[in-house]
Amino acid sequence: MTETDMWRRHLEYGRDQGRVLPGDPEILAAAMGSMHSMLGYAVNIAQDRDLDDDTLTDLLHHSLAGPASDAGSRDLTG
């Protein structure tokens, strides 16, 4: 099991439910893992910066699903 398997499975589930993805779930999961790692690094070296736990989740979720204010969108984070 890799560190991005959870994201890959989530993306595959969405694809299987009819959601159109911008690429292969395995590649997308790897990209998400890379973003997560680099954001962690950037926050770690930043002075006096706080990172809300939901920042990256919201970025990735809304980038894939669109903003929560879109008509017909569902909040899948809670």
Per-residue model confidence as pLDDT tens digits over 5-43: 998 999 999 999 998 888 999 999 999 889 888 887 887
Amino acid letter for position 25: P
This prediction has a pTM of: 0.64
pLDDT at 72: 47
Residue 58 CB neighbour total at 10 angstroms:
14
Amino acid letter for position 32: M
CA 46 to chain centre: 22
Percent of the chain exceeding pLDDT 70 equals 72
For the record, the structure tokens of 45 come out as 């070296």
Residue 35 contacts by C-beta under 8 Å, 6 or more apart in sequence? Answer: 56, 59, 60
Q: Which position has the higher pLDDT, 60 or 19?
A: 19
Q: In 3D, which of 26, 21, 58 has the Cα closest to residue 39? A: 58
pLDDT at 76: 47
